[in-house]
Amino acid sequence: MSKSRRRGLFGRRREEPEDNLAEAAFSDDWLPSEDLEADDDDVLERLRHSDAMRPLKITPEEERFPPLAPEGVPVEPARPRQPMPRKRVYEPIKWGTNFFTLLVLMAMCGLIWVFSMIWQDPYVSLNPFPPPTRYIEITVTPEVGMGLVDATLPAATATSEATPTAEIVDTANNATGAAFALVGDIAYQANTGTQGCDWSSMTGTVQASDGEPVNGYRVLVDSGTEEQVVFTGSADHIGPGGWELVLSNTLISGQYTVQLTSSTGTAVSDVLLVELPGDCSANVAVINWQQAG
């Protein structure tokens, strides 16, 4: 194969670059020598079509080095992503939940009504924990009307001082047909406690017609400026159905009205007018009631 043929066979096709750069120098030194045999044409043909014979592609300089953004130019911040509006979802009416809520409201109204009934009357049948049963109020209709009755201590001797008296006052507060009557006369005695003369009190007992104690009744003692209450059965050391009201820790004198009422406040005895003399030997007034038989 002649050298001119080999040059035409292996001649590199040169392409002009886009930026009109100078062509590279072409050398024939790399071509095969003329001593190659004719049977090497196939090898040379494959070599001509190999990657080594392809023209080089040069990237322009402006593409290899893109221009940078100039300094000081403000960059617009990215806009926040707006959330997508939610679609309204139709929810069907939950009849079961609404019915249960209605039942709860009705139950609450019922409880409020029950509590109000119990508050007004603790003995109502709706109360699961009622207070103790009320005491039975015993009343009698007297055959003879009760007027002004004097209750005095035994007559004083010529050498004794004036003794205090107790009267049953005929007022509007008297019980109609008093169920409990005064037992004998009001007794006065000296205080046997450690306080001695520095003491003023009233005491007594309340019994039924058969002698059984009556507890839970109220004894009202009114001085004209102050009303005090004591319950029967609150002083066991006095006796069955005993009661005691301490008026003062000093020796005092004065008049008091005393009346026995039921646990609900209904008068069951007449009003007594009791006078304390201010004497150390009579600083305790003893008042006993018994059911009229």
pLDDT at 40: 65
Domain boundary pick from 29, 45, 64: 64
DSSP-based three-state secondary structure for 188: strand
- What does the pLDDT read at residue 45? 75
Is residue 255 within 8 A of residue 271, CB to CB? The reply is no
The answer to whether position 131 is within a domain reads no
Q: At what angle do helices 41-48 and 3-10 cross, to 10 degrees?
A: 30
Choose the final residue of a domain: 64, 81, 110: 64
> CA angle 165-168-173, nearest 5°?
140
Q: Which two tokens mark 258?
A: 């005393």
Range of the domain at 223: 149-154+161-291
Classify residue 108: in a domain, yes or no. no
**How far is 224 from 222, CA to CA, in rounded Å?**
6
Residue 56 included in any domain:
yes
For residue 188, what are its two tokens?
A: 């006065």
Residue 98 lies inside a defined structural domain of this protein: no
pLDDT at residue 127 in the model: 83
Domain end position, chosen among 46, 64, 82: 64
Same domain, 166 and 286: yes
Whether 179 maps to a domain, the answer reads yes
One digit per residue, the tens of pLDDT, for the chain of length 293 reads: 555 555 555 554 444 444 444 444 445 555 555 555 555 677 777 777 766 666 667 777 777 776 666 666 676 777 888 887 777 777 777 777 888 899 999 999 999 999 998 888 887 788 888 776 555 444 444 444 444 344 444 444 433 344 454 455 544 444 445 789 998 888 999 998 888 899 999 999 999 988 889 998 999 999 888 899 999 988 888 888 899 999 998 999 889 999 999 988 889 999 999 989 889 999 999 999 998 86
| Residue 212 located in a structural domain | yes
> How far apart (Å, rounded) are the C-alpha atoms in residues 206 and 181?
10
Pairing mode, if any, of strands 200-207 and 289-291? Answer: parallel
Six-digit token pair at 218? 């109220």
Concatenated DSSP letters for 227-278?
A: EEEEETTS-TTT-TTEEEEEEESS---EEEEEEEE-TTS-B-SPEEEEEE--
Tell me, yes or no, whether 278 and 169 share the same domain: yes
Please report whether residue 169 resides in a domain: yes
Same domain, residue pair 53 and 166: no
Please give the Cα distance from 213 to 47 (Å, whole number): 140
CATH code at position 167: 2.60.40.1120
Give residue-wise pLDDT tens across range 229-276. 999 988 888 888 899 999 998 999 889 999 999 988 889 999 999 989
What is the number of structural domains in the chain? Answer: 2
Instruction: Tell me, yes or no, whether 172 and 284 share the same domain.
Output: yes
Whether 194 maps to a domain, the answer reads: yes
